[in-house]
Copies of this chain bind each other. A is one copy, B any other.
Amino acid sequence: MLLYNNRMAKKLIRDAVHGDIELGALEIELIDTPEFQRLRGIRQLGTAYLVFPSAVHTRFEHSLGTSWMAHRIVDVLRRHSNISSSMETLIRVSALLHDITHIPFGHTLEDERRVLPRHDKDFARVRYFLEDSAVGRILEREGIQAEVVSALTSGGTLQSDIVGGAISADLLDYLRRDTYFCGLAQNYDARIFESFVVDGGRLVMELEKGGALRRDALSELVNLLRIRYTLSERVYFHHSKISSGAMISKAVELAIQAGFDAEELRILKDETLVWVLLERYSENPAILHLLHCL
């Protein structure tokens, strides 16, 4: 829960990565739902903490940070384009909720071992988290439910670009957050924000000035991708993270075969998923063995 005085008031939250983050009343209301609070128990980097012990940050802080990065992008875009107050709300709320469908050890279960469909392609999950939930009811009351779902599941619009495109609020938060919590000396230059413009209703990085290529802007863009590469090499695809992730994933697979209902993953968190599997399948040596790596 985040306490607040007045429904209209903004609230200042201190984030270790970005400093003070400003949240509006609607965002606070969405954050105070069980579905969003659940993200506090899902680590951003899965089992990476086995290699980088400080990497215990969760999808909760990352979601707040992504909303803030989206705000900073909109701030820059407004210098030359008109972005309505309601469009800004749609963008910030979509950014805030972009990871709401995540389940414990999500990337492992979805991408690496394909036990389950990807979080943004699993339409049952999308409906569960963005429609049939407390979050969903708030979005519907505000009349933005369909647009938020669209921004998060389809591409091709300014809002989907800002939230989750190639160079997005999502990337701009996790590049800083993952390096901060892993303890890696990588950072991008805040100057990168200056390159964002709206062109043809899409988010674009302007690399030209007076007809000539701005080499330094191009280099900053490449730097972002390089930091992501470094994180991939040292963290995301570290052999220990991948193998431990595979073990958990296999344990969940075996559990599903033994009757475990995958829909429970929508309520469980990293710690409680492991607890529940160890408790219910204490007679299953394969599952026990796989989970004792943690």
- Could you say which of A51-59, A146-154, A199-207 contacts chain B? A51-59
- In the complex, A266 has a CB within 8 A of chain B: no
Which residues A176-209 have CB closer than 8 A to chain B? Answer: 180-191, 194
Q: How far is the CA of A61 from the CA of B55 in the complex (A)?
A: 10
Q: Contacts A15-B54, A185-B187, A188-B185: A223 and B215 contacting too (C-beta < 8 A)?
A: no
Residues of A within 8 A of B (CB): 1-3, 12-17, 19-20, 37, 40-41, 49-50, 52-58, 60-61, 64, 180-191, 194, 215-216, 219, 223, 226, 229-230, 233-234, 240, 269-272, 275, 293-294
Chain B residues whose C-beta falls within 8 Å of the C-beta of A188 in the assembled complex: 185
In the complex with contacts A234-B216, A271-B269, A293-B1, A19-B183 CB distance below 8 A = yes
Q: Which residues of chain B are near A15, meaning CB under 8 Å? A: 53-54, 183
Question: B187 touching A17 by the CB < 8 A rule?
Answer: no
A187 to chain B, nearest CB (A): 4
Across the interface, name the chain B residue whose C-beta is closest to A293.
B1
Q: Give complex CA distance A49, B270 in Å.
A: 17
For A216, the chain B residues whose CB sits under 8 A away are 233-234
Listed residue (A191, A216, A240, A293) with the most chain B CB atoms within 10 angstroms of its CB: A191
With A53-B64, A184-B189 given, name 8 new contacts (CB 8 A). A12-B191, A13-B53, A15-B53, A16-B180, A17-B183, A19-B183, A20-B191, A53-B61
What CA separation (Å) do A57 and B3 show in the bound complex? Answer: 22
Kindly state the separation between the CA atoms of A233 and B19 in the bound complex, as whole angstroms: 18
Look across to chain B and name the residue whose beta carbon is closest to the beta carbon of A274: B272
User: Of B2, B19, B20, B293, which is within 8 A of A50 by CB?
Assistant: B2
- Chain B residues with Cβ below 8 Å from A54 are 14-17, 57, 61
Residue of B64, B181, B230 near A219 (CB, 8 A) is B230
Q: Which residues of B contact A3 (CB under 8 A)?
A: 240
